Amino acid sequence: MKKIDRKEYTLTPISKNRYKIDVHSFKFGKNHAKRIARCYFSGPQQSWVIPQNTKSIEEFTNLFMNISNDESKPTLPLYQDAVQEFIDHLTLKRYSENTIKIYKEQIIKFFQFFKTIEPTKLTDENVKGYMLALLNKKKISLSYQKQVISAIKFYFEKILHRETKKYYFEIPRSDERKLPIVLSKNEIKKILNCTTNLKHKTILSTIYSAGLRLSEVVNLKISDIDNERMLITIKGGKGKKDRNTILSKELLVLLREYFKEYKPKVWLFEGEIGDQYSTRSVQELYYKALKKSGIKKKTSIHTLRHSFATHLLENGEDVRKIQILLGHKNIKTTEIYTHITNAGLKSIPSLLDELITKEDEK
């Protein structure tokens, strides 16, 4: 399986039966992918991928015969080299794939805002103007602002070797604390019961029963399941730290059933052609189950992790044990779930109930 290099694109082998797509002449998107057999976006590769078969490669090649003049324009004219240098530096510093993805998106938006200025000539005042535009016009959130500052700060300090002591390079601190949304045990049960596909049900059950992040469940390997010690090992979690979490007896039963039907080889959850299951696919199957369940709460796949922690607290588990299971560095991060649980609130009598009861007794 050889690398296919053309002026317009490069197909790079990433396994025995898959090519990663690198397009040089236009922005390859979802509409283009629909025109190619079994083309999909790979989260781990952060690229579009096609299988190595005649039909898919022919359809991919033929796509370039029908590109409009507008699509043929390069997307990164002035700052392509700067972006690549930025990514290379992050990679050498061993930043996680997710962090590299976020920083890359933010630095490209920053460069595009000043598309007529070469990146090396951008100034502190440019940064100030950009931040004010985002805050005043886009009304960005605090978490988004932190991402922007972190990416630009890294570029200025590590690539341009400049000092960033101005206040608009500082990460803003805030006392605001939004409580995460959680699902009740009955709502979790309803979502799982609505999931008829065995693989999908097993994925959602694994996330909830072990309190996993989205990236952690797709990175699980078969060897990470220890049915003797009833543990699941999370390797290279957030902060590139390993940890153990609990393996539910019910999940083990479900996993055995899933193994018999799907026979995964390396990854615990594999795609159609034996590759790693994508984060986007997990999100899609969750939203499909949520819609089918009829639950109206605005939740995400991460809500299963929040619910895991909250339900353990409601069951009387120690917050420090939960901190270990979740892989939180700081206990304060875990303690936010103490503000969600209704375990302590159940013992507090309702004043309205008491008032109406006394009225009825009269």
pLDDT of residue 70: 42
Instruction: Tell me the C-alpha to C-alpha distance, in Å, between residue 236 and each of 19, 23, 220, 331.
Output: 26, 30, 10, 20
Same domain, 102 and 220: no
Same domain, 202 and 62: no
Same domain, 124 and 28: no
- Res 343 pLDDT > 70: no
Among 154, 297, 316, 326, smallest CA distance to 239 is for 326
User: 280 an active-site residue?
Assistant: no
User: 320 an active-site residue?
Assistant: no
Q: Is residue 55 part of a domain?
A: yes
| Number of continuous H segments (helices) and E segments (strands) in the chain | 15, 8
Q: Is residue 358 part of a domain?
A: no
In single-letter form, the type of residue at position 148 comes to V
User: 162 an active-site residue?
Assistant: no
Q: Is residue 91 part of a domain?
A: yes
pLDDT by residue (tens digit) across 193-247? 999 999 999 999 999 999 999 999 999 999 999 999 999 999 987 777 899 999 9
Cα dihedral: 25, 26, 28, 29 (round 10): 180
Partnered with residue 11 across adjacent β-strands are 4, 21
pLDDT of residue 75: 44
- Res 312 pLDDT > 80: yes
User: For the ranges 20-24, 89-93, 101-105, which has the lowest average pLDDT?
Assistant: 20-24
- Res 64 pLDDT > 50: yes
pLDDT by residue (tens digit) across 121-135? 999 999 999 999 999
**Which CATH number does the domain housing residue 329 bear?**
1.10.443.10
Instruction: Tell me the C-alpha to C-alpha distance, in Å, between residue 181 and each of 296, 304, 339.
Output: 12, 10, 11
User: 302 an active-site residue?
Assistant: yes
Q: Is residue 240 part of a domain?
A: yes
Which of 169, 196, 218 corresponds to the end of one domain? 169
The catalytic residue among 337, 339, 346, 358 is 337
Which of 169, 196, 217 corresponds to the end of one domain? 169
Tell me the pLDDT of the chain averaged across its residues. Answer: 87
pTM of the model as a whole? 0.66
The catalytic residue among 18, 20, 201, 213 is 213
> How large a percentage of the chain has pLDDT more than 90?
55
The catalytic residue among 24, 89, 238, 280 is 238
Same domain, 196 and 161: no
Q: Is residue 211 part of a domain?
A: yes
The catalytic residue among 146, 162, 199, 302 is 302
Q: Is residue 355 part of a domain?
A: no
**Which CATH number does the domain housing residue 117 bear?**
1.10.150.130
In single-letter form, the type of residue at position 361 comes to E
Same domain, 61 and 12: yes
Same domain, 109 and 138: yes
User: 213 an active-site residue?
Assistant: yes
User: For the ranges 24-33, 159-168, 341-350, which has the lowest average pLDDT?
Assistant: 341-350
Same domain, 286 and 209: yes
Helices (DSSP H) in 142-270: which residue ranges?
A: 142-154, 185-194, 198-210, 214-218, 249-262
Q: Is residue 74 part of a domain?
A: no
Partnered with residue 23 across adjacent β-strands are 9
Among 113, 116, 110, 97, smallest CA distance to 160 is for 110
Instruction: Tell me the C-alpha to C-alpha distance, in Å, between residue 268 and each of 249, 255, 316.
Output: 17, 9, 31
Same domain, 58 and 84: no
* DSSP output for 16-57: TTEEEEEESSS---HHHHTTSTT-EEETTTTEEEEESSHHHH
- Domain tally, the chain: 3
- Res 344 pLDDT > 90: no
Q: Is residue 356 part of a domain?
A: no
Coil, strand or helix at 108:
helix
User: 305 an active-site residue?
Assistant: yes
The catalytic residue among 32, 306, 311, 328 is 328
Sequence-distant (6+) residues with CB within 8 A of 312 are 321, 322, 325
Same domain, 209 and 163: no
**pLDDT interval class at 359 (50, 70, 90):** low
Same domain, 201 and 332: yes
Q: How many CA atoms lie within 13 A of 342 on its CB side?
A: 7
Same domain, 279 and 312: yes
- Res 71 pLDDT > 80: no
The catalytic residue among 32, 305, 306, 311 is 305
pLDDT of residue 72: 41
Quote the domain boundaries for residue 152. Answer: 80-169
State the DSSP code for 269.
S
Same domain, 103 and 141: yes
